[in-house]
Amino acid sequence: EGIDGIQKMSKSLGNYIGITEPPNTMFGKIMSISDELMWRYYELLSNRPLDEILKMQEKVKKGELHPKEAKKQLAIEIVARFHGQKAAEEAANEFERVFKYKKLPKDIEEVTVYWPEEKIWLPKLLQLAGFTESTSSAKRLIQQGGVRINGERIKSAETTISTGNVYIIQVGKIRYKKIKLKEK
């Protein structure tokens, strides 16, 4: 199951967790899964014994353990498996800094996109910048309210962006890129 809890895990659908992804990305994607799906991920991906997972589930039901804390423990465990404990803890701290304190991530990827005209259609920019594999999936993300430019939610898939500027683009809750948009 993908991180949306509905469709299969798929890169083209953007609902996957790649084992070679950076720790912060991996951590953020795990934190974005639903509370219900978290338990399935625990059963399939955690090294914890099933009885320990069931006890955690019971604590969450009783209000003794917040689901976010249980998810954080899962994210740390999975990220540590692929990147080491230190990287997992740093990813947890960065996640809190970005989502609790509303700061921009420290390690925003910078991408330069060249376009031959003064303006570019936003779905095309999202595709060229590597956010999506197609303009149709970019349009869906925009229509679902999942795209922000410089902190402002974009509501129309027909939006165009001017070249010659730098933009911080956020797709979903965890994917940010600093886009330098230059005219060819």
pLDDT digits (tens, 9 = 90+) for 11-70: 877 778 999 999 999 999 999 999 999 999 999 999 999 999 999 999 999 999 999 999
- Which residues of the chain does CATH 3.10.290.10 include? 109-183
Question: Residue 114 CB: number of other CB atoms within 10 A?
Answer: 12
Q: What is the pLDDT of residue 164?
A: 92
Three-state SS at 136 = helix
Fold of 23-99: Tyrosyl-Transfer RNA Synthetase (1.10.240)
pLDDT in tens, 56-107: 999 999 999 999 999 999 999 999 999 999 999 999 999 998 888 778 888 8
- Which residues of the chain does CATH 1.10.240.10 include? 23-99
CATH of domain 109-183: 3.10.290.10
Read off the tokens for 147. Answer: 């795209």
Largest Cα separation within the chain, whole Å, is 60
Question: What pTM, to 2 d.p., does this model score?
Answer: 0.67
What would the 3-class secondary structure string for 51-120 be?
HHHHHHHHHHHHCCCCHHHHHHHHHHHHHHHHHCHHHHHHHHHHHHHHHCCCCCCCCCEEEEEEECCCEE
